[in-house]
Chains A and B, each alone.
Chain A
Amino acid sequence: GAGVSQTPSNKVTEKGKYVELRCDPISGHTALYWYRQSLGQGPEFLIYFQGTGAADDSGLPNDRFFAVRPEGSVSTLKIQRTERGDSAVYLCASSLTGPSDEQYFGPGTRLTVT
């Protein structure tokens, strides 16, 4: 079956611009997670959705970052006024019911802010 997909695979944007990153989870998975992975680091948790609601958004670094999952499936991570420090690979994962389940990761979106 289809795995987690993320679009775009690469995004280059100028400092100060707005970007949206999309995640399409595995069908039927109620839990969805966003992570950010910088070079040489492990994934850093950003936000976790249970259905349509954010169960935990404590990892979002500041109010420039926002994520939605309006219908409980596709999720969009939105970054306003991008900064060079936002450059990273943004990973999305989904799991069947929650954090105790195996998370299936997408290939990531590489964001470069110039």
Chain B
Amino acid sequence: AQSVTQPDIHITVSEGASLELRCNYSYGATPYLFWYVQSPGQGLQLLLKYFSGDTLVQGIKGFEAEFKRSQSSFNLRKPSVHWSDAAEYFCAVATTSGTYKYIFGTGTRLKVLA
């Protein structure tokens, strides 16, 4: 069965530090991969997505993610975190064949220290 794992429930970083949020998936083929951000009181917003091609994808707000097939991972990175990046981040996968499945991870809550 398809699944998504975000192993870090909480992450705290200092403003200006680099960030990496981990995401691993389980699926028999290459899925569509997404990262969303959810700020308090806000709806989910798409940061970036991977369908095919270049395994390093650029998103909004200075985020990027790298698809590594061998590790079944799609980690989100940002070189320098801003206080406004404090939010909850969700990795999601969508199946590319058969019955539609769109599965979210449990999320990683990011805290940014001034």
Cα of A48 to Cα of B100 in the assembled complex, Å: 8
In the complex, chain B residues whose CB is within 8 Å of the CB of A58: 99
Cα of A108 to Cα of B101 in the assembled complex, Å: 20
Closest Cβ–Cβ distance, residue B35 to chain A (whole Å): 12
In the complex, chain A residues whose CB is within 8 Å of the CB of B42: 107
Main secondary structure of the interface of A (DSSP, over half): loop
In the complex, chain B residues whose CB is within 8 Å of the CB of A42: 4, 90, 92, 104-107
Cα of A99 to Cα of B2 in the assembled complex, Å: 16
B17 at the interface (CB under 8 A from A): no
In the complex, chain A residues whose CB is within 8 Å of the CB of B101: 45, 56
A interface residues (Cβ-Cβ under 8 A, vs B): 3-4, 33, 35, 40-45, 48, 55-56, 58, 91, 93, 99-100, 102-108
Known: A100-B51, A105-B45. 18 other contacts (CB 8 A): A4-B43, A41-B107, A42-B4, A45-B103, A45-B104, A48-B100, A55-B100, A58-B99, A91-B44, A99-B32, A99-B100, A100-B94, A100-B96, A102-B46, A103-B44, A103-B46, A103-B102, A107-B41
B interface residues (Cβ-Cβ under 8 A, vs A): 4, 32, 36, 41-46, 49, 51, 90, 92, 94-96, 99-107
